[in-house]
Structures are given as structure tokens and as C-alpha cells.
Amino acid sequence: MVTVRFFAAAKAATKTNEVKISANTVEQVLALTIEKFPDLAAVLPKCSYLLNGIACSDLSTKLSPEDLLDILPPFAGG
């Protein structure tokens, strides 16, 4: 299962740091997380993603069970 970690507003929307999702692509992970955490739908359009620590913008990217996907909303501060 893919490990999905949530940060900032995504963490607030899901009320958790991390879940395990069985999916084949980043797009499937996002769809399944929205099913599980409907409040996340409002946050995801602003998010960026890291797949195993590397920026990932192609939602059709294939996943392996040992992958780590970080969901990162925009951060503010200075």
C-alpha cells in the first residue's frame, strides 16, 4: 500500500498525518483520499505532491506499494 502523508491544511482536512492507500496511480490515490476525507477536496486543487521526495505533477504516474506520497498545500510564512 502507498503511504500518503498530509501536511498543513491537508492534515487539518483529514485530521490525520498519514494513511495507507491501495492504488496504482497518483490520481487514484487522490480520488480515494477524497472519498475517505471529503473535506480534502477543497484543499487538493492548491496542493503540490512529492513522490518519494521528488516533485510529482503528472497524476498518471504509476505507483508501487512501497511509495511515499506527500500532499503539500501552499505554505505561508517568512
Specify the long-range contacts of residues 10-13, CB closer than 8 Å, at least 24 apart: 10/40, 10/43, 10/44, 10/47, 10/71, 10/72, 10/73, 13/37, 13/39, 13/40, 13/42, 13/43
* pLDDT on residue 75: 76
Whether residue 11 contacts residue 39, with contact meaning beta carbons closer than 8 Å, is answered with: no
Every domain of the chain and the residues it spans = 2-72
pTM of the model: 0.93
Class of domain 2-72: alpha beta
Quick one: pLDDT band at residue 77, thresholds 50, 70, 90? Answer: low
Report the distance separating Cα 50 and Cα 45, nearest Å.
15
pLDDT digits (tens, 9 = 90+) for 29-40: 999 999 999 999
- Gyration radius of the chain over CA positions: 11
